[in-house]
Chains A and B, each alone.
Chain A
């Protein structure tokens, strides 16, 4: 975990690996969902692309933030990234994850931007495969305006406070999902509970957080 959370536990994935292979479940899985959204966009359902934008906007911002320092320029670039992605969407075949594909577009856009403006990247010699694995999503922090920084801190503190106030089983389920990226099936095995319970716990945790965060985000 990258942010000093109070939850400590053994890595559940290791426990999962020792369990017997479960029968396949009839769910989309994240990569499948992204691919489905892409397919729907290609069939003319533009709102599905909007869902992809809302889902990946922070990660794209973090990606371009590795190259460009100014926050406003980052947002402009991120917007450009999504527009380019939209135009090139038919070339996405699902060979890699949607975000990996999007990340390459972001890197190209950032490099082109820097080349056009005759500047060097914030991080010298950032290569795609290296940058993809860099774990510094908070790099943009020191470039925020005071107002935005305040808002972001408030949201983050509220999320963390609400999370810590949740019952342990809900807190653990959500953290394993959002931070460790485990599937429901893996979480169910790690916590020794049914998948439906995992789904319910994660939802209730999100619902509790949303109740606190919503007023802040809507301001």
Chain B
């Protein structure tokens, strides 16, 4: 703290902690705290003391520093990510809808072949792509119907690995901007081995 009146600065910090500082003073103090570790430490000690008054168990020392260190790796600007997030969700949903439509069309066109037991490689790819794209569950009636029409033998096996599973979950989370506190859809990777699970009999 290098200001000539550190006590005034500390009093402002105390008021800031309580949300009782005017906006311009708040902005000034926040800017100052960016480079004043002593003020930041005082902020934390005041928080600790308040927690002690409320009989809250404190975190171990250095907790905030560890969080900050972990966040150093987070280089992507958050607001920018958020803008991409809704775009990604919309794009993913549109692509999934288009794929679903393609499945229905292809299914209706290939029905004679299907009844003859001829495999349609494209069908498997389309279905797989829609499932991976996210935004639509493969358990939906459209896909179940399509699956029933094509039969399990028409599906092309998709290599399913733990890495793929983790990727899909991360992808889903990224599309929906974090999902905390919201519904968390789970995307099943479509593979030859478990495709029959979602078929309508």
Contact = CB atoms under 8 A, between A and B. Distances in A.
Given A90-B82, A137-B54, A159-B52, 14 more contacts: A26-B23, A28-B26, A50-B40, A50-B64, A85-B180, A91-B180, A108-B180, A139-B57, A155-B58, A163-B53, A178-B53, A203-B15, A207-B14, A210-B49
B115 interface: no
A179 to B, nearest CB: 6
Contacts of B43: 51, 54-55
A48 B43 CA distance: 12
B64 A54 contact: yes
Q: State the main secondary structure of chain A at its contact with B.
A: helix
Given A148-B60, A155-B48, A104 B178 contact: no
Given A148-B60, A217-B61, A83 B52 contact: no
- Chain B contact residues (Cβ within 8 angstroms of A): what range? 35 or more
A77 B177 CA distance: 20
B51 interface: yes
Given A37-B30, A104-B181, A30 B18 contact: yes
Interface of B: 10-11, 14-23, 26-27, 30, 33-34, 40, 42-61, 63-64, 66-68, 70-71, 74, 77-79, 81-82, 85, 177-181, 184
Contacts of A120: none
Contact of B19 (A27, A59, A138, A207): A27
A138 B177 contact: no
B30 to A, nearest CB: 6
Contacts of B52: 155-156, 159-160, 213
B57 A47 contact: no
Interface in A91-118: 91, 101, 104-105, 108
B70 A54 contact: no
Interface in A161-216: 163, 174-175, 177-179, 183-184, 199-200, 202-203, 206-207, 209-210, 213-214
Q: State the main secondary structure of chain B at its contact with A.
A: helix
A57 B37 CA distance: 18
A61 B59 contact: yes
Contact of A206 (B14, B44, B59): B14
Q: Which 9 A-B pairs have the closest CB atoms?
A: A88-B178, A90-B82, A30-B19, A104-B181, A137-B56, A33-B19, A58-B51, A105-B180, A203-B14
16 contacts: A27-B15, A27-B19, A29-B19, A30-B19, A36-B27, A42-B78, A46-B68, A51-B30, A57-B58, A108-B181, A178-B54, A179-B54, A206-B14, A206-B49, A210-B42, A213-B48
B33 A47 contact: yes
A23 interface: no
